[in-house]
Amino acid sequence: MSARLLLRLHRIGLVAMAYFGIFYVAVNSAAFPLIAGKTRALQEAFGQSITLLGAQFSWLLPSPIRPDTAAGYLQWRGYGFFAILFAAWGLFSASGAVRRDEDRGLVESWLSAGISRLRLLSTRTLFFAAVSAEIVTLTGAAGWLGCVIAGTPPAVSGLVGESAALWALTLACFGLGLLVSQIVANFRAAASAGSVLLVVMFLLDSIGRSSVHRAPFTDISVFFLFNQSNAVAPGGVFDPAATVLLFVVAAAATVAASVGFVRRDVGAGLIHPRQRPKAEVHEPSVNPLLRLAVIRGLWIRRVGALGWTAGMAVTAASVVLLVNITATFFASTPTLSPYLRGLPGNVHTVLLALIWLSFAQALVAIFAITYVSRWSSDDSSGVLEMQLAEPIPRWGVLGERAAELTVTVTAMAFVAMAVILALSPAEGIPLDVGKMVSSTALLVPFGLTFAAVGALLAGWRPRVAVVTLSTITVISYLVFELGPLFKWPNWADNLSVFQLYGTPLITPVFVGGLIAMLAIAAVGFGSAGVVLARRDVAA
């Protein structure tokens, strides 16, 4: 297997982790003086606020150590949070390497080409170990650079130790992902079972950390082992024994997975659920939903749509519950409290608006990208060709796609709105229902804007549509997030699609932005229709 092929197979995880690892760490460390303040007194006050905030979030992240320093802040905000991200990356990379590639028939073709099972698994493992080491190293380097920019470089030995622990955690999760993937028979089951395992281990560590009584089996959690090290923070420690134990978990799980892979049939899991004999079916489905335009697509993708809707609702609920904590944190932080005084309207409402709408926009944009990804794969997999073999015009297919996305985004946004409206009175957050409805409704043209650009890209060059749209989205989001922080000029801010949405929960609807979004959506889908009509499909 060539390195190029392996890179291609791992590209999504690599791009995502490069962004979260390198960019996120560098920006957060470098921006420390802007957030915490430039004088020692301000930074100490900031540290106290973070310590209070950290106590409330101890179920999620380990308690902060010296958050009044850039390195301490990096340890808490960066490495604490990254444990979850890197663990998930390791797990899903392993599930994909084993099960997704097997579902696609790639594993069978590699094995039939003469590669042994052990060699295949070890090649995938070694490649992942190499790239994850690289990402972890670059993350550490980015953190060091950020702290240098912030004026307080951390100890290199501490960064090296913490990076080793993070790498060990990633590999342990990769190994566990490999092992779980041998037991079940397809990617969905492997990813689900792996996620459950990860959540259980996370909760074991979380309960052990936040409860008075030590929870049983906490020590077997890979998160517990990782959190024994906090070497980036001044005064923090590196626990070599815990890190070595993580490597041992990684090695043992990988060896066990190899044995499982050698013993099981390709395309099957180690567990064979006995299939009950069923009578053969020779009639078409009677489901009327499959026959109705737009509804049929929604029905086929109902599980994904429900998952997104539930995810958005949970995020909305979490945001509502976080508003009071965040308001307290802002009020008690000297560098942040001026922001509260300058806000238009009730503090809680404004914070809800800023946090929720930022999350909602990001989620809707990501959702639009996943839809565009499906449109592209429909083209390359032949689904579009089959659809066009039926007597429906190409613009009909495009219209159905846009309508399906509109309905799903509407459902996601309004269910989340209902959750917010239901929870906010109990949290003492006054909300204007009219503004809530308009800000929710605006998420639809916002999503359509990304989808229209994606539809045009998918119609023009389906193979590069997702990468290009993702790049546009990330740049757009960064401009939106970083512009105000670094005081970029207005014209630069206005390049962001996120800017066009405005802040409709606290300010009047940005009519110019709405018109611009609708115009982009109309022009994008219109152009996509023209491009799709002229293009060869499945060529």
Partner 1 sequence: MTSAVVMHGLTKDYGSGHGLFDLDLEVAEGEVFGFLGPNGAGKTTTIRLLMGVIHASAGTATIFGLDCDRESVAVKREVGYLPGELPQFGGMRGNEVVTYLGGMRGGVDRARVTELSEQLELDLGRRFREYSRGNKQKLGLVLAFMHRPRLLILDEPTSGLDPLNQQTFQRLVTEARTAGGTVFLSSHVLSEVEETCSRVGIIREGRLVSDMTMDKVHELRFHEVVIEFSDSVPEAGVRAAAGVEDVSVNGTRLACTVHGRFDSLLAAISGHAVTEMVSREPSLESIFLSYYSK
Which spans of this chain sit near partner 1 (rule: CB under 8 A)? 103, 278-287, 290-292, 296, 300, 378, 381-383, 385-393, 534, 536-539
Cβ 264 to partner 1 shortest distance, Å: 18
Nearer to partner 1, 205 or 378 (CB): 378
Amino acid type, 400? E
Distant-in-sequence contacts of 471-477, Cβ < 8 A, 24+ apart:
473/365, 473/366, 473/369, 473/497, 474/19, 476/365, 477/362, 477/365
Nearer to partner 1, 68 or 101 (CB): 101
Nearer to partner 1, 215 or 537 (CB): 537
Nearer to partner 1, 388 or 441 (CB): 388
Cβ 537 to partner 1 shortest distance, Å: 5
Cβ 268 to partner 1 shortest distance, Å: 12
Nearer to partner 1, 237 or 300 (CB): 300
Distance (Å, rounded) from C-alpha 293 to C-alpha 383?
A: 16
- For residue 243, CA distances in Å to 62, 249, 322 come to 17, 10, 33
Nearer to partner 1, 241 or 286 (CB): 286
Cβ 396 to partner 1 shortest distance, Å: 8
For 87, residues 6+ apart whose C-beta sits below 8 A from its C-beta are 169, 170, 173, 198, 202, 222, 223
Count of CB atoms within 10 A of residue 93's CB?
Answer: 27
Distance (Å, rounded) from C-alpha 128 to C-alpha 134?
A: 10
Count of CB atoms within 10 A of residue 5's CB?
Answer: 12
For 340, residues 6+ apart whose C-beta sits below 8 A from its C-beta are 327, 330, 331, 347
Cβ 94 to partner 1 shortest distance, Å: 21
* 499 contacts 429 by C-beta, under 8 angstroms: no
Nearer to partner 1, 522 or 538 (CB): 538
Cβ 314 to partner 1 shortest distance, Å: 25
- For residue 349, CA distances in Å to 208, 359, 421 come to 35, 15, 12
Q: How far apart, in Å, do the first and last CA atoms of the chain sit?
A: 27
Distance (Å, rounded) from C-alpha 115 to C-alpha 184?
A: 23
